[in-house]
Amino acid sequence: MEAEPKFELASNRNELRYWRRMKILVTGAAGFIGSNFVRYELGQYADVSVAALDSLTYAGNMENLAGLDGDKRFEFIKADISSPIDMGRVFGAHEFDAIVNFAAETHVDRSLMDASIFIQTNMFGVQNLLDQCRKRGVRRFLQVSTDEVYGSLGAEGKFSEDSPIQPNNPYAATKAAADLLVRAAYKSHGIEAVITRCANNFGPYQFPEKLIPLMIANAVEDKQLPVYGDGMHVRDWIYVEDHCSAVDVVLRKSEPGKIYNIGGNHDVPNIHVVKTILKALDKPESLIRYVADRPGHDRRYAMDSLKLREELGWDTKHTFDTAIAATVRWYLDNRGWWERVRSGEYVKYYESLYGERLKSQ
Ligand code: NAD
Ligand code: DAU
């Protein structure tokens, strides 16, 4: 979707004039990356104002935004991005300079159980936001996308922004569809949209259904660690704060119509990650259980983020080793947070996904 830039650049290269005092709508703000991004923006910019929107699904948690209520630059809005009524109300009551859309159903395993809510939020929700941007003349829309839209790599190489879109699971397919809707809104209606596609995140506030927090929580409780297949599937890991700084730089500096890959340059097999966690917690490898593989499981992801580095000057600040140590520490220090979410619906979910798999090993 690359095309002619529409922004007027200030004398300071890449610094856009009207982004000085930005009012940003951050959707999915009570989730893992959204809440980290809200804290990042408020920490970096004195003159930013953040409307944090979330419908509070099982993955949304007001505890993730704790302590921000007293900040005059912050407000929370409970609303559903896939509801035209909710969005009409929200956009009618505020004038946003930019939207950063983190709101999504995000867990691949859940999308394999039932894809309908993924279609609702990840596709209808995105179109709904784009419609509001068009109607209200919002200046910028940033869609937070994923490396999963590219499908799987073979033994060599990395995904570039020109790699074909070949999603292999329902979650990835809905994210790919959203990217195409964003592209169409840019091409057809001139919505000043940009897309970021990031690798696997880890860090504080990640819901313990995803590999790293699940393995930490299970190991702390001396429960079995379910590793899919042979454990040799490769993911490219990035610390959440590095993802936030990348989204921030694209939001403020990118020309419209651009797509940027974001990677951590740390692509390793899952079993290495699991063993690193066990070592950090001083727990035995006998907790590991190899279980039946995830259907359609992508074998390898690795991201080439050269374009983002060269065009916008971004880089990671954290190494995997220091960031995973900090993450393990955070889960040890915040045991109440993950124990509270590992109850109720979570227990049913866990049993339906892992019950048979763990029994049959
Ligand atoms: P998450 O599941 O922790 O958070 C998603 C948030 O969206 C939750 O707070 C949830 O309540 C909210 N939400 C869901 N449906 C909504 C709706 N209809 N209206 C309003 N809010 C809704 O997910 P995350 O890991 O923080 O991911 C955030 C975004 O980043 C997603 O778009 C995801 O596709 C993308 N992403 C994630 C990763 C990763 O490794 N976690 C990597 C690349 C891209
Ligand atoms: O790559 C970016 C994507 O990363 C995001 O777009 C998704 O929202 C996010 O959920 C994540 O998807 P993955 O499927 O890669 O993440 P997950 O943590 O579920 O799994 C990471 C790897 O670990 C994957 O190869 C599957 C494996 N795994 C996962 C779980 C939950 C296991 O072996 N056992 C498990 O119990």
Phi, psi of 91 (to 5 degrees): -75, -25
**Mutational pocket test of ligand 2: of 168, 207, 210, the residue with most ligand atoms within 8 Å of the beta carbon:** 210
pLDDT of residue 69: 94
pLDDT of residue 1: 61
Report field, pTM of the whole predicted structure over 0.75: yes
CA–CA distance, 35 with 75 (Å, rounded to integer): 13
Question: Does 270 sit in the ligand 2 pocket, CB within 6 Å?
Answer: yes
The answer to whether residues 147 and 159 touch, using CB atoms and an 8 Å cutoff, is yes
Question: Does 105 sit in the ligand 2 pocket, CB within 6 Å?
Answer: no
Q: Which CATH number fits domain 23-202+238-263+300-313: 3.40.50.720, 3.90.1300.10, 3.20.20.70, 3.30.1640.10?
A: 3.40.50.720
pLDDT in tens, 226-251: 999 999 999 999 999 999 999 999 99
With a pLDDT cut of 70, the percent of the chain lying above it is 94
74-78 vs 193-198, strand pairing mode: unpaired
Catalytic residues: 147-148, 171
Domain boundaries defined on the chain:
23-202+238-263+300-313
Q: Of the bound ligands, which one is closest to the alpha carbon of residue 197?
A: 1
pLDDT in tens, 278-290: 999 999 999 999 9
β-partners of residue 211 are: none
The answer to whether residues 182 and 129 touch, using CB atoms and an 8 Å cutoff, is no
CA of 134 to the centre of ligand 1 (A): 23
Encoded amino acid at 249, one letter = V
Question: Does 267 sit in the ligand 2 pocket, CB within 6 Å?
Answer: no
Of 23, 6, 256, whose CA–CA distance to 140 is shortest? 256
Residue nearest to atom 19 of ligand 2 (CA): 210
pLDDT in tens, 145-202: 999 999 999 999 999 999 999 999 999 999 999 999 999 999 999 999 999 999 999 9
Q: How confident is the model at residue 361 (pLDDT cuts 50, 70, 90)?
A: low
